Structure 1
Amino acid sequence: MVPVSGPTTGEVAGAPCWLSLTTRDLDAAEGFYGAVLGWTFRRDDGGDREYAVGRLVEQPVAVIAAVAAELSVRSAWTAFFTVDDVDQAVARIRERGGTVGVGPVGYPPHGRAALATDREGAAFGVWEGRTENRLHLGMSSAPAWLELHTRDAFEAAVFYGEVLRWADGGPAGFEVSYEQDKVVLRRDGEAVARLNSGPVEATSPQPQLRPRWLVRFRVPDPEVAAAAVVAHGGSIVPGGDWGGVGGPEETGGRRAVVARDPEGALFTLEAVEGA
């Protein structure tokens, strides 16, 4: 994960700011996500490994980073959240029962980052510095938003609210609402992320049933995108998000389907609003 130079993100501290995918085959990942999501890519060298910045209509969306094939690193999407001070954020994570796996690590001259898991084992990252993403991930104009699958959404909201300072009343203007068994994070009235209570098991052999942040990519037609997933070596997850009936689901009135890329990284395809 190496965001590149751009505007500062301090005014949206606590917001999801970037997506990162680890993969063993960067060429194959570019081909897959280019076909499924219509992305183009710009290659770069992060010093110790190669990575590509995925773009949609010339706007940066995510980083895809290559890892050595011999390393036992699971291919997965990770969401990063902006913080004003990564050291303080790391301290808050540990104080509240989370685990810091990597960092803080510096990426001169852009910023610093850390990788962590929450109390249930869902992975996420924190980023202090600058990012090229001008799409404010999660807002209605962005190509993606986030959904946390966890045992208790209300408990998770307390954890993330304290770690990311959602309730501090700062300039980010976040609103946290409790809706049945869900918690919805909004900024300026737009949903940025949703936290869902449901059956999860940290050691489940089915990745979709483990606690996790799931990235939901907006596409014009989820069924067409799902066909592209299969055609390019990925697969559709039977049962949708929570092991239900399978196939396209309805989420907030919009069609969606859960998929895996060829290396097993989970993500959701969701119809854009009005599609």
Structure 2
Amino acid sequence: MAVQPEGSPCWADAMFSDVEGAKTFYGGVLGWTFGESSSEYGNYTQAYVDGRAVAAVVPPMPGQEGQSQWCLYLASADAAATAEKIRENGGEVLMEPMRVGEFGTMCLAREPAGAVFGVWQGGTHEGFEATAVPGAYCWAEFFTRDPQKTDAFLPAVFPYTAQRIEDAGVDFRLFKVGDDTVLGRMRMTEEFPPEVPSYVNVYFTVGNCDDAVARASGLGGVLRFGPMDSPFGRFAALSDPQGANFSVIDITTRQGETPTTTDVP
């Protein structure tokens, strides 16, 4: 695969205190198989669909134990320069750009409304080897309690243009890189418990949403929302047994008209 354009989602991973449990769960729900863990890189273990890398799981580093969550990485040609932009625009750099052997350079950050995300400057590991096929990454949204902060921050750090969805009944924006829509932004309402911070919700593609929900529930996952039909696919929001939130979507089952969008200056 070619290196992803600046700001495009390019990788996802999650820390789990019970890595073997995570492998059992996601293997059962998404059909993932797993490579050998790399002790040199903190037992980082890649997940595969049909032999193509789609995500990774890793145990927490000492002192970082806590709530499991998925981390989405956005592509950067220069992670150090992106880290500086993050600081300049009110974000917080949680992990300074760090070279990971020949694979690339990573950085972890928090945007001003509180959602944590990663930055990845690809080396030999350019990112997802498959997307939008069953088991692979499909989409992501910044769920934020302060949309004004998030909406100002993201286009200041990455070369995004924004569109507002007009008729969805929710406060939702789309971010584009060139002609490609790459991210969403959803305002968190009072339906979200107050203890849930802003976060990035990652969607994984499935062949059948209802079947995936049934598999997840059978393996100890919790259904948070859905399944629901939309113009983009039938989807559901879940939490895995260790508390990490994610969504599944069947992009072949679509209902309704695509909502109207308006460019945001």
Q: Same fold (TM over 0.5)?
A: yes
Deviation at 1:188, TM superposition (A): 6.4
Residue type at the aligned position of 2:204: F
1:73 aligns with 2:73: no
- Aligned 1:79-118 pairs, distance under 5 A: 79-118=72-111
Residue 98 to residue 45, structure 1, CA distance change in 2 (3 Å): same
Say if 1:24 and 1:69, in contact at 8 Å, map to a contact too. no
Report SS of the residue matched to 1:44. coil
Match of 1:228 in 2: 215
Say if 2:203 and 2:247, in contact at 8 Å, map to a contact too. yes
Deviation at 1:121, TM superposition (A): 0.4
Residue 19 to residue 224, structure 1, CA distance change in 2 (3 Å): same
Residue type at the aligned position of 2:181: A
Report SS of the residue matched to 2:20. helix
Aligned equivalents of 1:137, 1:120: Cα separation in 2: 28
Aligned equivalents of 2:93, 2:101: Cα separation in 1: 21
Identify the match of residue 51 of structure 1 among 1, 24, 44: 44
Give the unaligned 5+ runs of structure 2.
255-265
Deviation at 1:81, TM superposition (A): 0.5
Alpha-carbon RMSD? 2.8
Residue 100 to residue 203, structure 1, CA distance change in 2 (3 Å): farther
1:37 aligns with 2:16: no
Report SS of the residue matched to 2:35. strand
Aligned equivalents of 1:225, 1:197: Cα separation in 2: 26
Deviation at 1:161, TM superposition (A): 1.2
Match of 1:14 in 2: 7
Residue 119 to residue 68, structure 1, CA distance change in 2 (3 Å): closer
Residue 42 to residue 122, structure 1, CA distance change in 2 (3 Å): same
Aligned equivalents of 1:273, 1:189: Cα separation in 2: 22
Identify the match of residue 176 of structure 1 among 142, 146, 162: 162
Say if 1:105 and 1:114, in contact at 8 Å, map to a contact too. yes
Say if 2:32 and 2:135, in contact at 8 Å, map to a contact too. no
Deviation at 1:214, TM superposition (A): 0.1
Say if 2:53 and 2:130, in contact at 8 Å, map to a contact too. no
Residue type at the aligned position of 1:252: P
TM norm structure 2: 0.83
Aligned equivalents of 2:252, 2:159: Cα separation in 1: 29
Count residues in correspondence.
Answer: 249
TM norm structure 1: 0.80
Residue 135 to residue 185, structure 1, CA distance change in 2 (3 Å): farther
Deviation at 1:190, TM superposition (A): 4.6
Say if 1:153 and 1:182, in contact at 8 Å, map to a contact too. no
Identify the match of residue 160 of structure 1 among 154, 160, 166: 154
